[in-house]
Structure 1
Amino acid sequence: MRTVILGVIGSDAHVVGITILERAFEAAGFEVVNLGVQTSQSEFIEAAAEHDAEAILVSSLYGHAEQDCQDFHRAMDEAGLDVTTYIGGNLAVGQDSFDETRKTFREMGFDRVFDSETDPQEAIEALKADLGHRSREAASERTRLRS
């Protein structure tokens, strides 16, 4: 079973969204480690390492995700983690265009960026595809190394 780490980053205390995501991902066959609200970057990273997770799913609804996620991927690299990272929610206060917000978080290193209106099934299908792609790449690399 594939393990994902889920939580609400920073000082955000919105719990309903991650509860819905937890149930949806579990129903789709994922092992979900729900860290709850007000989760620090280091808690996400430590949980991913401890549970040998394949993905970290970051939620934020209070609009300060950019500040909360500064250097998140650098910290992951320093911890030796190579996992798929998703972020979703209301990520920026007063965002004019979600395309700009998506671009910002992609540049920060997130593999996928979702707005607060995204259906959980869309994120589940994206993660299945992304993890399947990573599995094919790893198998290809193993075959290349054996040759």
Structure 2
Amino acid sequence: MPRTLILGVVGSDAHVVGITILEHALSAAGFDVVNLGVQTSQAEFVDAAREHDADAVLVSSLYGHAAQDCAGFHERLAGADLDPVTYVGGNLAVGQDDPEATRERFEAMGFDRVFDAETEPHEAVDALRADLDVRVTEREPIRVEG
């Protein structure tokens, strides 16, 4: 049974390319992806997670204001009696921010994984497979008799 993921860009951010690429990679990996698009409120993430019984919620932000946009996010999830795996990724802070400090800040906010803007889609796929205990099955190679 495929795992359900909620994906969206939080707050006033309108950057859509990254989540579109991520949606395709996650879908190709066998996940059921609900893409909320851009400028998504915390309430919309929570409502979608509840409606779709989501296994994970992936929050994207590229305009550098993710800390403000994600403040209280996990409290909202808990208030809705939800506890999905949560990821945040993108350009999460404005200016020359220390990546380790950014990771620590978002982990302290409750996110299970924090990815920077240089993260490749396969890294998120691999992390989700590990965090959701998804086993990958390999198909038998196709043999051509000749």
Normalization by structure 1: what TM-score?
A: 0.89
Deviation readout 1:62-104 (Å, 9 max, x if unpaired): 0000000000000100000010000000000014310000000
Check if 1:78 corresponds to 2:90: no
The structure whose Rg is larger is: 2
Point out where structure 2 has 5 or more consecutive residues left out of the alignment. Answer: 135-146
Which one is further off, 92-101 or 70-79?
Answer: 92-101
Check if 1:101 corresponds to 2:102: yes
Question: Hey, what does 2:124 align to over in structure 1?
Answer: 123
Check if 1:22 corresponds to 2:23: yes
CA–CA separation in structure 2 for the residues paired with 1:22 and 1:108? 24
Among the aligned pairs, what percent are the same residue?
A: 69
**Which structure has more helix as a fraction of its residues?**
1
CA–CA separation in structure 1 for the residues paired with 2:96 and 2:55? 30
Question: Hey, what does 1:67 align to over in structure 2?
Answer: 68
Point out where structure 1 has 5 or more consecutive residues left out of the alignment. Answer: 134-147
CA–CA separation in structure 1 for the residues paired with 2:94 and 2:13? 13
Match of 1:132, SS? coil
Question: Hey, what does 1:54 align to over in structure 2?
Answer: 55
CA–CA separation in structure 2 for the residues paired with 1:3 and 1:86? 14
Runs of 4+ in 1 over 2 A off after TM superposition: none
- Contact 1:95 / 1:101 at 8 angstroms: preserved in 2? no
Q: How many residue pairs are counted as aligned between the two chains?
A: 133
